[in-house]
Structures are given as C-alpha cells and as structure tokens.
Structure 1
Amino acid sequence: MTVLKGDERLDYLLAENLRIIQSPSVFSFSLDAVLLARFAHVPGRLGKVVDLCAGNGAIPLFLSARTKAQITAIELQERLADMAERSVQYNKLEAQLKIINDDVIGIAEKIGYDKYDLVTCNPPYFPAHEASEKNLLETIAIARHEIYLTLDQAIQSASGLLKQGGRAAFVHRPGRLLDIVTSMRAHRIEPKRIQLVYSKAGKDANTLLIEGTKDGKPDLKILPPLYVYDTNGDYTEEVRRLLYGENS
C-alpha cells in the first residue's frame, strides 16, 4: 500500500479509473492538466512521450489512459517527484511510467536528443518578477512562477527532445500567445493547432492550448472554443466527459 505523508490524500481520476496523491498545502493539479492531456495528440504503443514540469504526475497519469507508449515525466522539485512516483506505484504503472527528479533545462542531454514523439508541458505561467505572493510556500511559488524555468527554456528543452515530426503541446495563458509562437518557431516547432478555453460564454479566454510539430510546415488550425461552465454554473457536457467520463 502506498504510504501517504503529512496532509496528503489519495484522490480519484474518475474518467481514467486511476488514483493520484495530492496535498492541499504542497500541490494539487488543476483543470489545465486535464485539458492538456486530452488536447495533445498521443502516439501509439511504440511511441515515446515526455512530460515536462510534471508536478505530482497528473498529466502522465492522464496520458497513460490514452496510450500504451512509454512515458517519462520530469519534475524539478523532489517532494512533487516523490508524490508522482508513489502514485505510479499505487496504480501499478511502473512498466509504462518513469518519474525523473531533475531539471527541465538540459534534460535532453541526459535522456536523449531527437528521440521522442510527443512532449507535453504545463510550465510556470508567471514571470519571476511577479512572484509577489511572498506568503506562498516555495513549492507552489516554483510551480507558478518562472523562478527556475522560463517559457523559452521550456520550449527549447521540448524541441531538443523531439524527433523530426514529433509534437509538442503546451497549456498556458492567452496573454503569452505571441511569446509562445515566437519561441516555438525559434526552436523549430511550427504551431499547428490552437484552442482557447473560456470559463463561460461571454467571458475572455483564460487558457490557451497549443500544439506544434518539429520542423513542420506552416498550417495553423484554430479549433472551436471550449467552455468550462454553462449558463447555470455547471460544467459543460464536454468538460464533464473530460473529468468524469460521463456522456451527459
């Protein structure tokens, strides 16, 4: 039995029939992780996937339900990597999922250049100089702010890992769209698909999903918008399917 530590709890990933270790004071995954894991094109059984900035392993766990490909997850913070590793063990996914406690910067030198079919990344969203929430635990501050990893460094690392024709998928804030596209192209990843996520109709988009192909040809598709809540404040049918596997 997986041993929980401190205030950790064992939560359900209902649509995937898996469990995940979370902590309210250290780290709990958000809807962004669910969205990215469902947005990314996953390879088949023989493919290889890397998830950067893996946190407590939510995205690798979600991806494991969509593909039999080998998945490697990279997380800088030892506490979060440990949580992810214990979740992998609890779900008996050691043969498919590998958690590595290491820096995203320079990771291709350690696990291999130009050999992966898909890289996913839910990077820190906020520039380091905006880390004004001084009361935040260091763990949370590092996950939210570009203290140890900038957006450009994350994209550069993804490019180094990808084989030609491989895909990289990111979730971020719409306000960084031009920064993301500029960086992707600078690092040989051609943007191919974009989807904007809205809390509900009539509101500004608050989440950006973007996927590109290494050395791909320009041909960008803008997907239909995704709304999280309906007019009654309930999850939309599409989001309910993502979270719970429900048909309505």
Structure 2
Amino acid sequence: MENPHLLENERIDQLFSTDVKIIQNRDVFSYSIDSVLLSRFPKYPQKNGLIVDLCSGNGAVALFASSQTKSSILAIELQERLADMAKRSVKLNQLDQQVTVVQDDLKNLLQHVPRSQVDLIVCNPPYFKASDTSKKNLSEHYLLARHEITTNLDEICQVSQQGLKSNGRLALVHRPDRFLEIIDTLKTYKLAPKRVQFVYPKNHKEANMLLIEAIKDGSMDGFKILPPLIIHKDNGDYTDEIFEIYYGKRN
C-alpha cells in the first residue's frame, strides 16, 4: 500500500469491515453512513461488468464497492478537490486496475462509457432542492454535494437511462420526503422501481433515509419493500446490523 500525499487537515479513515482506506477532510468532504449503506445495497456484477458511481465525492461508494465485486468501476465527480482526494485514495488502496476516477459533469457520462453498456449505476446525489435559505453556513464543497445546484434527480435518472444496458440497475440513497417524486422520476425514464428500504435513526423514529433500486426497461410488477434498517439502539450504540457493516461480525 502506497504512502499517500496528504494535504492540510486531511486524514485517512478505514471502514474496518473491509481493507479499504479513504482520504478525508472534514472541512472539504467526509463520507457519511449513507455512502456506506448505499455501497452495501445493490446486487453487484461479479466480473467483467461495468459499474459507475455518479456524484462520487471523495470516492467512498466506489472504493467500498471494490470490496464487493471484481467489476470495473468508474467514479465521476464534478468538484476538482474531491476528485483529487478520490484519485489519491485509489492509489492508496492499489486499486488503479479496477477503479478509475474522472473529474467531470455527470451529464457527460457518455463521453466516458459506451451508451447502454453499464451494468450498475450507484449514486449518492444532492438531497435538497436549492433555495436561498438552504445555502447558509455551508462551504462550497458541501453546498454542491448536498443541494441540487449542479445536478438534480431528473438529470441523474436521464443520464442513468442513457448509460445503463437493458435490465441494468440504478441504486440511489435519498430522502424519504422525496419518495413519491423519486418513483415518478424513475418511471419517466423507464427505470422500474424494484426494491426500497427505509432507514431509521432509532426505533420509533421517522425514517430519515431510503435506499432504492430500479431496473432499466424492467416490469413495473414485483416491487418489494424490504425490512426496515435501524441505525442506533435506544442507548445510542449501533444496532448489530450496523455494527457488522462498520466493523465486521462480533467475535
């Protein structure tokens, strides 16, 4: 494993259930549990497949996905600073032969992959619609990562339809309050919703996250709502399921 070049305030974190290490900077961008859960949600092609990670940030989803599959992974991130962190993390983990990071607008996806040839697209998109009030007290990096300023749900679904092969899959993590909009937008681009899982901060709390998977040109039949995923016990500890995702099975 190569010794990475770290910039000011950068650190190296590890998801301890894997060997993957990732360069982070709290002032610029750090992955959250949504990236971890997204990386564990879809069914991956195991070899000779092509996976694309849109809105890749510092590459967390792409890097964590590399431990789930041997398929090639292309990570696309608009922000130069975040893409640079992702590229250095790829080198840190010696994943250059599997993971490629491209700094570009996701609308240019077809400049990097053939049309209708992608097996799986994963995306942790900006959750919030842009408004004057939403832009306060955020750095530029977090602002673009969290708010629909440079891309939006409609564009992500449109680009995914263009890139995915027939029966290819799109997996998203998003906000429950936009669930109906997500379903409608997927259907607009012939992406049939197939699986959804709602994520809850604690038992008896409202869901604050959802994971959803759709199939290009798929039938609208067979939609499944998976069992709820709860993050914390009442005492604040991780539930057993989340602990295993982060640290592996307890001894």
- TM bucket, shorter chain: over 0.9
Give the aligned partner of residue 21 of structure 1. Answer: 23
Give the aligned partner of residue 199 of structure 2. Answer: 197
Residue 168 of structure 2, aligned match among 160, 166, 169? 166
Tell me if the contact between 1:130 and 1:145 (Cα under 8 Å) persists in the aligned partners: no
Give the aligned partner of residue 39 of structure 2. Answer: 37
SS of 2:232's partner is coil
**Percent of matched pairs sharing the same residue:** 48
Give the aligned partner of residue 77 of structure 1. Answer: 79
Tell me if the contact between 1:124 and 1:150 (Cα under 8 Å) persists in the aligned partners: yes
Pairs within 5 Å for 1:169-184:
169-184=171-186
1:233 correspondence with 2:214: no
Please give the alpha-carbon distance, in whole angstroms, between the structure 1 residues aligned to 2:15 and 2:244: 12
Unaligned runs of 5+ in 2: none
Give the aligned partner of residue 222 of structure 1. Answer: 225
1:245 correspondence with 2:242: no
Q: 1:227 to 1:137 in 2, by over 3 A?
A: same
- Matching residue's letter, 1:51: D
Q: 1:130 to 1:222 in 2, by over 3 A?
A: farther
Unaligned runs of 5+ in 1: none
SS of 1:55's partner is coil
The Cα shift of 1:41 comes to 1.1
Give the aligned partner of residue 120 of structure 2. Answer: 118
Please give the alpha-carbon distance, in whole angstroms, between the structure 2 residues aligned to 1:113 and 1:179: 26
Residue 136 of structure 1, aligned match among 135, 138, 151? 138
Please give the alpha-carbon distance, in whole angstroms, between the structure 2 residues aligned to 1:168 and 1:247: 32
Give the aligned partner of residue 59 of structure 1. Answer: 61
Please give the alpha-carbon distance, in whole angstroms, between the structure 2 residues aligned to 1:120 and 1:140: 19
Cα deviation 1:178-217 (Å, max 9, x = unaligned)? 1111111111110000000001110100001000100011
The Cα shift of 1:109 comes to 4.1
Tell me if the contact between 1:131 and 1:145 (Cα under 8 Å) persists in the aligned partners: no
SS of 2:170's partner is strand
Please give the alpha-carbon distance, in whole angstroms, between the structure 1 residues aligned to 2:132 and 2:158: 23
Please give the alpha-carbon distance, in whole angstroms, between the structure 2 residues aligned to 1:173 and 1:56: 21
Please give the alpha-carbon distance, in whole angstroms, between the structure 2 residues aligned to 1:217 and 1:94: 37
Aligned Cα RMSD in Å?
1.1
Please give the alpha-carbon distance, in whole angstroms, between the structure 2 residues aligned to 1:147 and 1:90: 31
Please give the alpha-carbon distance, in whole angstroms, between the structure 2 residues aligned to 1:131 and 1:143: 16
Tell me if the contact between 1:27 and 1:140 (Cα under 8 Å) persists in the aligned partners: yes
Q: 1:13 to 1:131 in 2, by over 3 A?
A: farther
SS of 1:15's partner is coil
1:94 correspondence with 2:96: yes
1:150 correspondence with 2:155: no
Tell me if the contact between 1:14 and 1:245 (Cα under 8 Å) persists in the aligned partners: yes
The Cα shift of 1:130 comes to 5.4
Instruction: Tell me the TM-score normalised to structure 2 length.
Output: 0.96
SS of 1:68's partner is coil
Give the aligned partner of residue 188 of structure 1. Answer: 190
Tell me if the contact between 1:53 and 1:121 (Cα under 8 Å) persists in the aligned partners: yes
Please give the alpha-carbon distance, in whole angstroms, between the structure 2 residues aligned to 1:241 and 1:158: 31
Give the aligned partner of residue 3 of structure 1. Answer: 5
- Matching residue's letter, 1:89: K
